[in-house]
Structure 1
Amino acid sequence: MTIKTVLCGGGSFLLPPCLDCCQEETPDSTGSLNQREKISMDTAIKDISVVQKTGKLSRKLSILVLFIFLSVVAGSVIYHFVSKQVIEDTRRIIKKNDRNNKLAEISARIAVLGVMGDELITKGDEQILEAVTAESNMLMNEINRYIETEQSEGYLHAKKNDEIKSMLKARENLNELMRFIWAAYERKDAAAMDAYHKKVMYYLIEIDKNFLEIKRVHDEYIAGFQSSLSHRLSNLMKLYLLLIIGGAVCIGVLRYLLKKFVEDPIAVLASATTRFAEGKLDERISITSDDELGMLARSFNTMAESIQERETRLATCCNDVEKLVECRTRELHDALNKLKSTQTELIESEKRSTVGQIAAGVTHTIRNPLNSISINLQLINKCLNVGKIDTEEMKNYVETLLGEVKRINHLVEEFVRSSRTPAPNMIKGNIMELLKASVDFVREEARAKGVSMILKSDGNIPDIYFDFGQMKDVFLNVIRNGIQAIKNGKGYVEISVSPIFEPGSQTKNHIAIHISDDGCGIRAEDMSKIFTPFFTTKSDGIGLGLVNSQQIVLAHGGNITCQSTAGSGTTFSIILPCE
């Protein structure tokens, strides 16, 4: 962390009196700072008033957008009007074409009617008469509907009148044709058949002329509509072209104005900001417009001047602080060396204290056997000096001496074992079998004191890796402590074994062995000492059993803990890993 970071981070740091410039200003600098703040505030107020009064950038953009909007609306209105006229002309052309098709159909049916009438005159068949009558009625109805449709459209002019007159004349000729056919059918004059045929052909030709006149009028209509449609389509294409050119011009003008009044100033601001962030504190922006971007440029210049001045003063303070830190670092280095020296002395003192504590424990433990040996040797010496040697008495003295020597040897072995536990020989096996063997080993001892032994397991206990001999010593030591804690001659020692599963799965990763008794328990003030070497509450104990047990369990990668209440019993929990 740099000095600047320390200062900017807000943390407390001891500053020498020479660094008061970082905390408060001198009268001259304070006056100049207040003057600069006043100028900056006046500039900010002026810029705000400029934005409130003018807002030139937004006004320019608003006018341009309004112009484009009105242009689009005007183009849309014109396009809608022209498109509507084009659609109307197209509809009229389609209508006239349909009328021409209808006329062609009626004309063909009238020609068929003439042939049927001619056949009726020749043969005089009543079935043909009925067919001619029905067809003539239908044709008359078709012509009447056509005339009514034309008259109902509501706008009559010369061409429309000619069309209607021609259709009326065609209807009259059809009536005359039918009257002649009826008259010829009733007369049945075979000598006048050629005259009848010529008369029928005359009327058919007249009707055909009427329909041709109507078709001519329709064709003139269609030609006019097509000319109008072509003209309007041309106008529509011109409108499209005008809109495209106008749109391109508007886009070009908008692009130019945006580049000139927005993009270029923003690019200048971004470039200046980047260079300022890279450490060029003398960077300034030369935008002089009186719009929002000009206000932003002036604010940036004001900010840059303020930051540059503060950075200058901060650099001066940092130099002084670096000197102070260098001085403090030397002092801390010296203090650290002294601390290391003191720590080394404390470690040596702790070693000497531990050696003294062990020596005191060993001395206290061995003193009683040594006193017994000394007394027995004095008695043997006394007997030898007096000259009275009793073989049986001497044998007792020697047995006592051998027993005390054996006791001292046992104490030394326990001490050596506690100080240098061998590495366990890990072999995979069933922990339940070892517990059963341990319980069987002490069962007679427990029965002699009236203590019940209980062994139970919870679930299928997996095989694990452990040292058979070392773990047996652990179990026997804890079980015997429980048996010895029962004073009234009636109680129990319960050993329960259960697997421990991984959180959220069915995998067994540890085994828990709980050895509980209902004996006298352990006092609260002694709980922190039970795993301390040479601490014991038994008159014949040496205080190394639980120490050895803890070292063995830890060497197996496990843990041993104790929970006890004075007068209520004790529970030792041994946790061993499955792998």
Structure 2
Amino acid sequence: MKLNTKLVIIMLSLLVLTMMTLFTLNQYSQNDLVNEIQESSQEISKAVQMSIEDLTSDAEFSRLNDYLHKARKKGINEINIINIEGEIVDSSDPDKIGKRHELNKLEKGVHAAPRHNGASILSQKPYEVVVPVIVGDEHLGYVQINMLLDNINNLQHANFMRRLFATGMVFMIGIALTIFLARRYTEPINSLVEDFKRVSAGDLSVTIPVDSKDEIGELAKGFNNMVEKLREREALEKRLYEAEHLSRVGQLASGIAHEIRNPLNYISLAIDHLKEEMLPHCAGAQRAEMEELADKIKEEVRRANYMVVNFMSYGRPLKLRHALVPYSDVLAKALPVLHDRLTEQRIRLEQRIPDDFPPLWVDQEMLRTCILNLVGNAVQAMPGGGLITLGAERDHDQVRLTFSDQGKGIRAEDLGKIFQPYFTTREVGIGLGLAITERIVREHGGSIQVDSTLGSGTTFTLLLPLERGPHEGNLETHEP
């Protein structure tokens, strides 16, 4: 509900409440006033009737004093009976009996009377009622009633105070509602101002909960949209900066890699030449040892050259040469290269591969690179020795290859960065191993997961699709 609508509803509610309260109090006061006037009129009639009876009778006793004790509650202050000669023959005030009153000064009907000398300034103005007493055609005298309308005035004053109190209560309710509404809107606005200050200071993690559908809710929603766009812009600027940085580093590294290929080619040719020149002069175990050593050097040179080619073409799509190969064959060609490092660091390597594990539809050389990168990282994470476990299992239409170590683990803040090119936490290395591995797995249509506990070890899991169809059962190996 909009703020304007709430204010209008509050004002209309207060108006209706005020009108209903005043109407109710007015009806109540009118009823009280009518009742009071009726009772006063009845008392005046009773006093006149009693006075006429006293005036026309020969009784020597007066009932006015007894009656006046009751009549004072209704405002009757004094009753005088005056005969035709102007003598007060009976009165509620015994001191006035026998005194004379000037008849020409008597004003028939109801009129204001002068205050008594001892009357208080705050007391109500007295009124005098003069009624002639006529029996048949004979005028016997007058009945003079002195009365105060204090009861009616008190009643009117009480009704006025009730209306004033009711109006004050209605306005107090209105003020309370206004204060509540003001706090209801000022507190979120103050909070919003503080959030704006935080955002202007660079904190884009601020999010305001949208708890209402009024202007404050729309303002909070607009604020959240603004912060979200700022986050997107910041992420885009960060990606652009990283892309520019990677582009510059990549250009430099590509030039260096291009220069590395020349000495690699020379080393490869030199190994071939040494094999031709040295092996004929060796015999027995020495010949076998020299031939094995030369083959390992040749294989490492070839692998290094292959990595340089992939490194130079990192920004271009990979050209995969798929073949259906057993996973054990890929491991048999990859792991011997790391045998000396594993032995030197007292690291045991355990393979947990089922006998019925299906062959993989992969680029054998690419997968070999992934294995060497992952096992090589595990070796570097365990300088004091330990156990590396290679696992494999089939999971419906995909295979799950795991590489677990007992190394120092990866910090939580670094887990999201380890697959970024050129990111490394080691003093040596260029930070492309895991980036190339992740890209190779992605190009195969799979994914890579990592689970690491600081101080306990790390497990990398490769999820690769399992090819089915005409290739299954026809094992074919591609030698690069």
TM over 0.5: no
Please tell me whether Structure 1 or Structure 2 has the larger radius of gyration of its CA atoms: 1
Higher relative contact order (Cα pairs below 8 Å, separated by 6+ residues): 1
Higher strand share: 2
